[in-house]
Structure formats: C-alpha cells, structure tokens
Chain A
C-alpha cells in the first residue's frame, strides 16, 4: 500500500513569506502529526490532527498552524517565515489509537 506522501520535497522561501506543506496519510489512517527537525533541537512535535480536529499541540508559536481535510490529508502553514524556521518538516500518520506511526520523507524548507 502507498506510504505517507509529503509535498513538496524541497522548498526555498524568503524571510517574511508564508508557506504551506502537504501530507497525504496512509489510506485508512485518520491521524496526522507534524514534526520539525533541526540540528540543534532534534525532532519536535508541532501538532496532531484526528478526524479534522486538532487533538494535540506542541510548544510552537501561533505562526505555525495546520488543518486536516475530510479525506485525512493535512496541510501545515507557517506564516511570516524566519531564518530559524529552516528545517526538515515531517508528518506521520496512524490509525489514531496511539500506535503505529509511519513517517513521510519530509519537506526540506530553507528560509533565506
């Protein structure tokens, strides 16, 4: 079966712009979580959506937001980009019961 698909794979944006990243989960999975990976902070949880509702949120500023559609696909938006937002953004999908998290290949965002 198809895995978790993240688009685009690479993105270069200018400071102050906004960006939208997309994640298509494994068919049947209703939970999508987002993570940011940076060399200094490691893998950090951003938020999780389950059945179109945000169920969990990490400690990131309000510039980071997300949503989930009825087909479970999720988007993440970052507004007013800062240099420090340069990172690998990963999403993971699961059935939503607390087990079996499968990650996508990530979107590499570079802010210049």
Chain B
C-alpha cells in the first residue's frame, strides 16, 4: 500500500523553463510534506516543506503547492537550471508519527541546456 505516489518516473525540461513535479498521497493523517533532491550514492538534500495549514510555500526558485482536498502536492522550479538535474522525492509525515517520513518513488528531472 503506497501512501505517497509520484506517478511520473521522469521529466525533461529546457533550461529556463518551469519544472513541475507532482505527488499524490492517500493518508489523510499526513500534515507535513517535504521535497528532497537526491544524487546517486548520496543522502537526500532538503529543498522545501509545507504544513497542512498552508496551501503554498516559496523559497527562491522553489514553490510547493498543497491541495488538501485532492491530496495532491506539486513542486515548481522556476527557472530550471541544468544543476537541478537529479531525482526528486516527496515525503509526508503525520504529527502522530513524528520522525517517520513516507517517501514517494521519486521523479528523475533532467534539465537540458
């Protein structure tokens, strides 16, 4: 039972354009969501997070949108840069399960120069 799903295994965009990565979840107890960027053989690097009391959070080129009714979140990267090429994971946690992150399967983003 996969509680967090990233249905697109890969995404390719042109440098300077917008990258949109999507994530769906099924557990209504999730109240905190995070996006991580990962390179092979390295640990995930935190990008941005959002609490369920918000529907949008921005940090520089990264914006996360949360649609609680649809149980859907998305990460927007504007403008995309070749250095953004990596695997992106969304993760979710519930306040009753502190310390436990449930990850999606990841989306490989390729930004072409």
Contacts and interface: CB of A to CB of B under 8 A. Distances in A.
Interface centre among B44, B49, B93, B97 (most CB of A within 10 A): B44
A96 B93 CA distance: 13
Nearest to B97: A56
Contacts of A4: 43
A108 B100 CA distance: 21
A55 B45 contact: no
B43 A45 contact: no
B50 to A, nearest CB: 11
A31 B32 contact: no
15 contacts: A33-B100, A43-B89, A45-B100, A45-B102, A50-B99, A55-B99, A56-B99, A92-B101, A96-B98, A98-B32, A98-B93, A100-B46, A103-B36, A103-B45, A106-B42
Q: Which DSSP category, helix, strand, loop or mixed, fits chain B's interface?
A: mixed
Contacts of A56: 97-100
A97 B97 CA distance: 10
B99 A102 contact: no
Given A43-B89, A99-B49, A48 B44 contact: no
B99 A42 contact: no
A67 to B, nearest CB: 15
B41 interface: yes
A102 B91 CA distance: 13
